[in-house]
Amino acid sequence: MTKDRPKKDFAFFLLYMFSFLLLWEWLRPMKELTETGYLEVFLVFVFLSLVMSFFRMPVIPASFVKVIFVLYCIHFMYYEGTFFSAGWIGQFLESSIINLKLVWGAAWTELSNDFRTLLFFILLWMMAYLIEYWLINRKQIFVFFFMTLVYITVLDTFTPYEANAAIARTVVAGFAVMGMLAFYRIADRELTNKTSANARKWMMTLAAMILFSVGIGYAAPKAEPAWPDPVPFLKSFGNGDGSGGTKKVGYGTDDSKLGGPFIGDDTLVFTAEADSRHYWRVETKDVYTGKGWITNSESSPTLRFEQNQMVPMFQFHPEVKTEQHTSRVNPKIGYPHLVYPLGVSSVEASGTFTSLEFSLNTHTEKILSVANGQKDAIGPYSVTFDSPIYSIEKLQAAGGAGVETNEDLNAAGGAGVETNEDLNARMLSRYTQLPTGLPARIGRLAAEISEKETNWIDKAKAIETYFRSNEFVYDQTQVAVPEENQDYVDQFVFETKRGYCDNFSTSMTVMLRTLGIPARWVKGYTEGEYKETTNNGRRLYEITNNNAHSWVEAYFPGVGWVPFEPTQGFSNTVQFESEKKEQAKTPQEEEKKEDIAPVASNKPEQLEEEVGTAEKKASFSDVFKKAGTSLKTKRKEITLTLLIVAVIAAVLFKWRAKWLPGYYILLYKYRKQDKYLEKAYLALLDQLNRYGLRRGDGQTLRDYANYVDQFFSTREMRRLTAKYEEYLYRGTVNEGMWEEAKDSWEVLIKKAGA
C-alpha cells in the first residue's frame, strides 16, 4: 500500500526547489577544488531529474530521457562527430568494458575520464532518487541535511573552499524542507485538511522563524574558539602541500614550498625491466623562489608525437657517444605521465587504443599519454633511449667562454629547436635565474669552493663533492622548514646541513647558477630495488614511493645536459670516459662495475631455485605462504570488495519483498509440470507473510484464503487454494492443473510485491 502523495501546489513546488538547492551545495565546491569541468551539465541533470519527479513522470519514460541526456553529455565532452553516429558508441562501449574490468580489479585510479563521468551521473541519479524517496515516502530529510552540513564544514576546514555563505544557504534550505515535511506529516497523522490556507499559515510562520534565526546568528557577536585549532596537527600527518609538517614521500606536483620531515611509503608505483640501472625522469623545474620550485606558467608550449616517433626533446649533442637500450615499464598507479630515462628517443605502448599519442611540455619536459582523445594512464610501455657516455675532455673544453654565441644553445631552451637570435640570452636567463632576495653568501661560498677550477665541469664536480662531505647529513625526519623571511638553500647550507634530496639538489642547482652555469632541478625516481634477473637476461626492478627523488642537470655547450647527484648516500648512474687510453677509469665507471656485481652474485641463487622448483611446487606450506602474502598485499582491495558485497547483500535482503515476486514469476511461470503448483503456492505463502498478511496459528488454508481475498478485493486466493488442495489430497489429478492455476497465482504474487 502506498502513502498519499502531497498535492502539487506551490508549497510542494517550494519543497522540490529547496531540495534542489541542497543538492546544488554538493556540486559547488567541485569547481574550486577539482579539475572537473562542465559542472553546469551535472546541475542541469539534477534539475531535470527533480522536475520529472515533481510532475510524476512514469519511471520508464523518465529513465529513457535521463539515459539519452547522459549519453549526449558524454559524447559532447569526450567524443567527436555526430551524436547519432555508431562509431563513438562502439568506442564508449569498448572503453566501458575495459573500465569495468579495472573496477573489478580495484584499479580505481586507472579509470578513464568518460567512465568516471558516467559513474558521477549514476551517483547524481541515485541522489535525486533518494531525495524523491525522502520527500514523498518518508517525509523526512534530516539525514541528508545533516550530511550536507558535515560535507560543507569539512571542506571549509581542510580545503581552501570558503563555506560561510554555503552554510547559511544550507541552513535556510534545510530548515525550510524539514519544516514543510513536518506540516505534511502532522496533516497525515492528525487527518488535517491540507488546504492552501493551512499551508500558507504554516509556511509564513516557518519563513519568519528561519529568517529570524539566520539573522540573529549572522549579526550576533562570535566568541573565540574555546579549544585550539586541531587542523594544523591533523595536517601534519597527511601528504601536505610542501608547506611543512610531516608529509608522505612520493611524487607530487607542488614544489613551491619545500622543507619539513616526511614519512616513508612503500606503495608500488611501477616495475621496470632494464639492462642496467638508471634514474627515471618525470619533469624539470627552472624557477627558484627562495622557498621552492615553480614552472614559468606564462608560456608552456606542448608538442604532440605518436608511438615509435622521435621524441621532440633536446637532451645532449648528437656527437655525444651513446649506447641504445630499451626498458619496459609496467605502471601500478594510474598516473597520466610517463617515466623515462635520460636520452629517451621513442615510446611504444601495449594495449588496444582507438588513438594514442603523447604530449610533451617543452618547459618541464613532462610527457603525458593521450589515449582515445583524453589525457589518461596507459598500460605497460617500452621506452627506447640513448644512454650517453660523456667525454671528460669535451666537458672540460665546454666551460664558459663563448657561451652566449654558441649555436648549440639554440636547442637547449626547450624541446623544440628554435632559431631566434635572442634565444641564447633567454636560455641563460632562464637557467641561471635567481630570486632577488637570495643571500649573497651563497654565491660567495660557491665561488670559494670552485675558485681553483678553470672550467665548468670541474666547478660542478667540486660543488657536488662539497655536499658529499661529512658536514652534511642525509635525514628524513629532523628537517627544518625555513621561516617566512629565510631562504631555503641558505638555511640548509649554513645552518642545519641536514635534509634529504630536495635540500641537496636545490642547493647545488642554485650554487651552480650563482657561477653562471645553466642548471635545472629534476624530479623523478631512482632505479628502485633490484628483484631478480628475468628469463631474457634483463633485470627486474620495483620502484615505490620511497624511490621518489630529485637531482641536478647542468648544461654544457657542445655536450648538452649532464646529470649530477649531490645527495648523501646516492650515486650517479651517468657514464664518463676519457679519450686518452692511458687515463685510469673514473670513479663513475668503477661504480658501474660494482653495480654489475650484484646481478652476477644472484645468478647462482637463481640456478639453485630452478633446481628446486619441483619440490617447491609440491610444498603445501609454500602455497599457504604465497596465499598469505597475496592476502596481505591486497587486503585493502579484498576488504573493500567484501564490504561492497556485504552492503549489496544487505540491501537485497532488506528489500527482498520487492524483488522476490519477479524472481518467482521467472522461476515458475513458464513451467508446465503440475509438481510446480505446490512449490509456487508455498512461495506465495512466504511472500504474503513478508508483505504483512500473516497466517494465524491454527488458521486453515481456506480461512486464510478468505482473509487474503478480502484484503485484496479478489477471489484469486480461494481459487488457487482449491486447486492446491485438490492437487495435494486427491489420489488422482487432472493434467494441466498448474496451467489452470497459474494466472491466479501470478495476480496474487504481483500484488504481494507492490
pLDDT digits (tens, 9 = 90+) for 550-599: 999 999 988 889 999 999 888 877 888 877 644 444 444 444 444 434 43
Q: Is 434 found in the same domain as 374?
A: yes
Q: Which of 330-334, 633-637, 685-689 has the lowest mean pLDDT?
A: 633-637
**What is the rounded CA–CA span in Å between residue 243 and residue 144?**
35
Which of 219, 238, 270 corresponds to the end of one domain? 219
- Residue identified by cell 481459487 is 719
Q: Is 265 found in the same domain as 163?
A: no
Is residue 649 domain-resident?
no
Amino acid in the structure at residue 190 = E
Can you give the length of the chain in residues?
Answer: 754
Q: Which residues pair with 386 in a beta bridge?
A: 324
**What is the rounded CA–CA span in Å between residue 384 and residue 325?**
6
**What is the rounded CA–CA span in Å between residue 563 and residue 431?**
14
Q: Is 550 found in the same domain as 472?
A: yes
Residue 540, pLDDT above cutoff 80: yes
Q: Is 483 found in the same domain as 397?
A: yes
Count of structural domains, the chain: 3
The confidence band for 734, taking pLDDT boundaries of 50, 70 and 90, is low
Do the bridges between strand 539-544 and strand 268-274 make them parallel or antiparallel, or are there none, so unpaired?
antiparallel
The pLDDT of residue 46 is: 84
Which of 603, 619, 644 corresponds to the end of one domain? 603
Is residue 236 domain-resident?
no
* pTM score of the predicted model: 0.49
**What is the rounded CA–CA span in Å between residue 398 and residue 47?**
67
Pairwise pLDDT comparison (409 vs 543), residue with the higher score:
543
Q: Is 306 found in the same domain as 191?
A: no
Q: Is 261 found in the same domain as 148?
A: no
Among candidates 444, 302, 463, which has minimal Cα distance to 367? 302
Name residues whose C-beta falls within 8 Å of residue 689's C-beta, 6 or more positions apart in sequence: 695
Amino acid in the structure at residue 534 = T
The pLDDT of residue 197 is: 67
Q: Is 186 found in the same domain as 47?
A: yes
User: Between the CA of residue 125 and those of 28, 69, 427, what are the distances in Å?
Assistant: 17, 12, 53
User: What's the gap between Cα 581 and its chain centre?
Assistant: 53
Is residue 441 domain-resident?
yes
Is residue 617 domain-resident?
no
Residue 536, pLDDT above cutoff 70: yes
Is residue 663 domain-resident?
yes
**What is the rounded CA–CA span in Å between residue 176 and residue 205?**
11
Is residue 643 domain-resident?
no
What stretch of H or E contains 606?
helix 587-611
Q: Is 410 found in the same domain as 278?
A: yes
DSSP structure class, residue 77 = H
Amino acid in the structure at residue 425 = A
Q: Is 304 found in the same domain as 183?
A: no
Q: Is 201 found in the same domain as 279?
A: no
Is residue 299 domain-resident?
yes
The pLDDT of residue 279 is: 92
Q: Is 332 found in the same domain as 201?
A: no
Residues 78-86: contacts with CB within 8 Å, 24+ apart? 78/113, 78/114, 78/117, 78/373, 78/374, 79/114, 79/373, 80/373
Do the bridges between strand 268-274 and strand 321-331 make them parallel or antiparallel, or are there none, so unpaired?
antiparallel
Q: Which residues pair with 374 in a beta bridge?
A: 371
Q: Is 151 found in the same domain as 35?
A: yes
**What is the rounded CA–CA span in Å between residue 257 and residue 236?**
15
Residue 663, pLDDT above cutoff 70: yes
- Written as nine digits, the cell of 621 is 606450506
Q: Which of 174-188, 413-427, 466-480, 727-741 has the lowest mean pLDDT?
A: 413-427
Q: Which of 44-53, 408-417, 605-614 has the lowest mean pLDDT?
A: 605-614
The Cβ of residue 229 has, within 10 Å, a number of other Cβ atoms equal to: 9
Is residue 631 domain-resident?
no
The pLDDT of residue 129 is: 83
Residue-range definition of the domain harbouring residue 398: 247-571+579-603
CA dihedral defined by 580, 582, 586, 591, rounded to 10 degrees?
A: 120
User: Between the CA of residue 436 and those of 227, 290, 433, 682, what are the distances in Å?
Assistant: 41, 9, 9, 87
**Tens digit of each residue's pLDDT (9 = 90 or more) over 136-148:** 777 777 878 888 8
The pLDDT of residue 566 is: 92
